[in-house]
């Protein structure tokens, strides 16, 4: 299946001379097509840097990062990014935001309109098509951002702490919506978060990164039956065990941060 | 207008609140006019400070005889052309400087130099180069309006939300199209703010130029009426051009609100 991400001996250095800081050091990690992977790590570990490199926003210092075997060369429509701050075009209505990627791809008007409407409906945004982003709540804005990204059908979803600014109940609703979408649409998802429970709840694999400079520390495989309701999953013994495993690994990193 | 913020009529029902706020906003002006009327001919000689009633009569007279019409037309043309030119050049320059370091380096020194300069100080020089009349007035209006427009446009274009640009590029927008699809729309609110700031400058500089270097226009009319002792007509001309400037600002703000429904 398409949407594979290959990361091999990735190194990312910011700045030059005395300003040089290594953000990512010798990171190798492969993600299968259609896989849901979360990346957790202490703040400043380079997890967002990693996401921006996969997105093509940042250059690589050493190593390779490829999508389906082709090295990444800048942003492209095979990938889609969902930002924590939504990044909706404020001058475009909900519908016009969702249409953006389709317009840029040259999809004929009628077809684009039908596709946009399908994702607007999927994200429970019917009735809000003609609203501007400023008229929407944070949760709705993020659903518009998701609909906009899904509409142009990228193989890979790159999500940078997308629910970090939302309150707990809303976050849970969106997490469940994301799981449904992922199940229906066969996307590869790379999900950056600092919330251990969120990472374990959503993903098949959780990569924990070391603190500065960031690299792969441990990878926890999570094999939960996600067809069950949330309350059954989060109260299951397996969920708790995995959560503790990830939490302990992350804890070692954040603990060392406190030492002078 | 600052007076709009002085009082919030929370406690009154809506229709009354609107009327009350309107009255409240204009009371200071009313007090001034009444005080002026009383003072004129008593505290101050009527020939130096004609009463508002005389100024009102002169205003009606200026329109009734048609005397003010050609002056007003010329002044409006000069403001329109000067402001229009400054918008065209200012927006291009402001955004151009954000897109290219070479453009920025080249123009930065000129903008820094003319920034602290009172534009009206250039009237005698403009007069020397361009002679008496419309060209001089347009140049001065243009220069006075240019900076707020350049600076607002430049500032906005340089501070476009990076994640909007990233999103657009991710969705297949090329660098060249990015300019039209993201940079321009993201910059429009500040461009309109710049124009809003420039409108009063346009009228100030217009009158300054016309006072010195024009055979026609409202500035010239003020000077002529003043020099032959037609003080009510002089005041009337000031009132008319002030009202026109106020209407221009107010009208532009209405348009701006309508254009920027999304902000």
For residues B194 and B88, is the Cβ–Cβ distance under 8 A?
no
For residues A98 and A80, is the Cβ–Cβ distance under 8 A?
no
Of the residues B161, B169, B171, B188, the best mutation for testing chain A's interface (the one with the most A CB atoms within 10 Å of its CB) is B171
Q: Are both A58 and A106 inside the same structural domain? A: no
Structural domain includes residue B55: no
A169-183 pLDDT, tens digit per residue, is 899 999 999 998 888
The burial of A149, by beta-carbon neighbours within 10 Å (0-12 exposed, 13-18 middle, 19 or more buried), is given as: buried
Q: Do B262 and A133 touch (CB under 8 A)?
A: yes
Lowest mean pLDDT among A196-210, B14-28, B42-56: B14-28
Please identify, among A108, A127, A153, the residue that sits at the C-terminal boundary of a domain. A153
Given this model, what pLDDT does residue B1 score? 43
A236-255 pLDDT, tens digit per residue, is 888 888 888 888 888 888 77
What is the span of the domain harbouring residue B77?
61-259
Give the domain CATH number at A73: 3.40.50.300
Determine the Cα angle at B132 with ends B130 and B133, to 5°: 95
Confidence of residue A259 (pLDDT cuts 50, 70, 90): low
Q: Which residues pair with A10 in a beta bridge?
A: A27
B117-164 pLDDT, tens digit per residue, is 888 888 888 988 998 889 999 999 999 999 999 999 999 999 999 999
Chain B residue with minimum CA distance to A77: B171
Q: How many CB pairs under 8 A join A and B?
A: 60
Q: Do B167 and A90 touch (CB under 8 A)?
A: no
Q: Residue B84 and residue A155: Cα distance in Å, rounded?
A: 48
The residue-averaged pLDDT of A47-61 equals: 93
Given this model, what pLDDT does residue B11 score? 57
For residues B7 and B21, is the Cβ–Cβ distance under 8 A?
yes
A87 contacts in chain B (CB < 8 Å): 161, 163-164, 166-167
B240 has pLDDT over 90: yes
Given this model, what pLDDT does residue A213 score? 84
Determine which helix (DSSP H) or strand (DSSP E) holds B91, and give its type and residue range: helix B68-99
Q: Residue B212 and residue A65: Cα distance in Å, rounded?
A: 69
B187 contacts in chain A (CB < 8 Å): none
A141 has pLDDT over 90: yes
What are phi and psi for residue A224, nearest 5 degrees? -100, 150
Distance of CA B86 to CAs A176, B147, B183, Å?
Answer: 54, 9, 20
Given this model, what pLDDT does residue A22 score? 85
Given this model, what pLDDT does residue A258 score? 53
Of B169, B177, B181, the CB nearest to A75: B169
The residue-averaged pLDDT of A112-123 equals: 94
Q: Does A135 touch chain B (CB under 8 A)?
A: no
Confidence of residue B8 (pLDDT cuts 50, 70, 90): low
3-state DSSP of chain A = CCCCEEEEEEEEEECCHHHCEEEEEEEEEEECCCCEEEEECCCCCCHHHHHHHHHCCCCCCEEEEEECCEECCCCCCCEEEECCCCCCCCCCCHHHHHHHHHHHCCCCHHHHHHHHHHHHHHCCCCCCCCCCHHHCCHHHHHHHHHHHHHHCCCCEEEEECCCCCCCHHHHHHHHHHHHHHHHHHCCEEEEECCCHHHHHHHCCEEEEECCCCECEEEEEECCCCCCCCHHHHHCCHHHHHHHHHHHHHHHHHHHHHHCC
Give the domain CATH number at B231: 1.10.3720.10
Q: Are both B19 and B120 inside the same structural domain? A: no
Mean per-residue pLDDT of chain B: 90
B177 contacts in chain A (CB < 8 Å): 104
Q: Extract the tokens encoding A241.
A: 């065990």
Structural domain includes residue B240: yes
For residues A75 and A142, is the Cβ–Cβ distance under 8 A?
no
B177 has pLDDT over 80: yes
Given this model, what pLDDT does residue B3 score? 44
Given this model, what pLDDT does residue A2 score? 87
Please identify, among A153, A168, A200, the residue that sits at the C-terminal boundary of a domain. A153
Q: Are both A129 and A40 inside the same structural domain? A: no
Q: Extract the tokens encoding A165.
A: 């600014």
Lowest mean pLDDT among A4-13, B29-38, B39-48, B130-139: B39-48
Given this model, what pLDDT does residue B198 score? 96
Q: Do B166 and A100 touch (CB under 8 A)?
A: no
Given this model, what pLDDT does residue A86 score? 94
Please identify, among A136, A153, A170, the residue that sits at the C-terminal boundary of a domain. A153
B12 has pLDDT over 60: no
A187-216 pLDDT, tens digit per residue, is 999 999 989 999 999 999 999 988 888 888
Q: Residue B142 and residue B80: Cα distance in Å, rounded?
A: 10
Q: Extract the tokens encoding B27.
A: 């009371």
CA distance B178 to chain A (A): 11
Long-range contact set of residues A103-110: C-beta below 8 Å, sequence gap at least 24? A104/A77, A104/A152, A104/B168, A104/B171, A104/B172, A104/B173, A104/B177, A104/B181, A105/A77, A105/A152, A105/B172
In the block, which residue shows the tokens 């534009």?
Answer: B119
Q: Are both B75 and B202 inside the same structural domain? A: yes
Q: Which residue has the higher pLDDT, B140 or A223?
A: B140
B161 contacts in chain A (CB < 8 Å): 87
To the nearest whole percent, how much of chain B has pLDDT over 70?
Answer: 94
CA distance B245 to chain A (A): 30
How many other CB atoms sit within 10 Å of the CB of residue A148? 30
Of B170, B173, B182, the CB nearest to A81: B170
Domain count, chain B: 2
The burial of A165, by beta-carbon neighbours within 10 Å (0-12 exposed, 13-18 middle, 19 or more buried), is given as: middle
Chain B residue with minimum CA distance to A102: B171
Q: Are both A224 and A148 inside the same structural domain? A: no
A10 has pLDDT over 80: yes
Q: Are both A149 and A162 inside the same structural domain? A: no
Beta-strand runs (E) in B140-211: none
For residues A32 and A20, is the Cβ–Cβ distance under 8 A?
no
Q: Are both A169 and A237 inside the same structural domain? A: yes
Q: Are both A114 and A131 inside the same structural domain? A: yes
What is the span of the domain harbouring residue A130?
87-153
B184-230 pLDDT, tens digit per residue, is 999 999 999 999 999 999 999 999 999 998 899 999 999 999 999 89
């Amino acid at each position: 299946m398409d949407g594979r991400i290959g990361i091999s001996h990735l190194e990312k250095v910011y700045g030059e001379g005395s300003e040089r800081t290594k953000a990512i050091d010798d990171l190798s990690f492969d993600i299968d097509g259609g896989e849901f992977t979360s990346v957790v790590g202490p703040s400043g570990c380079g997890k967002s840097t990693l996401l921006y490199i996969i997105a093509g926003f940042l250059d690589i210092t050493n190593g390779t990062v490829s999508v389906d075997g082709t090295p990444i060369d800048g942003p492209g429509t095979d990938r889609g990014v969902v930002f924590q701050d939504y990044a909706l075009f404020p001058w475009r209505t909900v519908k016009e935001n969702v249409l953006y990627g389709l317009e840029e791809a040259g999809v004929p008007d009628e077809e684009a309109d039908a596709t946009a409407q399908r994702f607007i409906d999927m994200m429970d945004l019917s009735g809000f098509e003609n609203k501007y982003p400023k008229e929407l709540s944070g949760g709705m804005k993020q659903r518009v951002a998701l609909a906009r990204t899904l509409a142009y059908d990228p193989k890979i979803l790159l999500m940078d702490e997308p629910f970090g600014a939302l309150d707990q109940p809303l976050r849970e609703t969106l997490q469940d919506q994301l799981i449904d979408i992922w199940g229906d649409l066969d996307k590869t998802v790379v999900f950056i978060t600092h919330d251990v429970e969120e990472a374990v709840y959503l993903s098949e694999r959780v990569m924990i990164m070391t603190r500065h400079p960031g690299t792969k520390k441990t990878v926890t495989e999570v094999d939960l039956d996600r067809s069950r309701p949330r309350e059954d999953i989060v109260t299951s013994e397996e969920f708790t065990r995995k959560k503790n495993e990830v939490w302990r690994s992350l804890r070692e990193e954040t603990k060392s941060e406190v030492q002078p | 207008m600052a007076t709009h913020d002085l009082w919030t009529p929370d406690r009154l029902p809506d229709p009354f609140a609107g009327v009350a706020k309107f009255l409240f906003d204009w009371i200071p002006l009313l007090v001034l006019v009444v005080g002026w009327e009383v003072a004129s001919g008593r505290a101050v000689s009527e020939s130096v400070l004609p009463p508002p009633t005389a100024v009102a009569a002169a205003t009606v007279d200026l329109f009734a005889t048609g005397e003010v019409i050609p002056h007003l037309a010329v002044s409006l043309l000069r403001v329109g052309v000067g402001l229009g030119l400054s918008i065209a050049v200012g927006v291009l320059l402001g955004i151009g400087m954000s897109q290219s370091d070479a453009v920025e380096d080249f123009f930065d020194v000129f903008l820094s130099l003319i920034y602290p300069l009172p534009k009206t100080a250039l009237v005698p020089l403009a007069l020397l180069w361009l002679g008496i009349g419309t060209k001089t007035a347009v140049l001065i209006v243009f220069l006075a309006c240019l900076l707020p427009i350049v600076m607002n446009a430049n500032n906005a274009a340089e501070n476009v939300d990076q994640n909007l640009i990233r999103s657009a590029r991710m969705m297949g927008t090329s660098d060249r199209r990015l300019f039209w699809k993201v940079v321009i729309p993201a910059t429009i609110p500040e461009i309109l703010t710049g124009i809003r700031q420039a409108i009063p400058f346009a009228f100030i500089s217009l009158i300054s130029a016309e006072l010195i270097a024009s055979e026609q226009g409202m500035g010239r009319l003020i000077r002529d009426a003043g020099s032959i002792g037609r003080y009510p007509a002089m005041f009337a001309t000031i009132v008319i051009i002030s009202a026109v400037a106020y209407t221009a600002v107010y009208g532009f703000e209405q348009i701006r609100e309508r254009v920027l429904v999304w902000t």
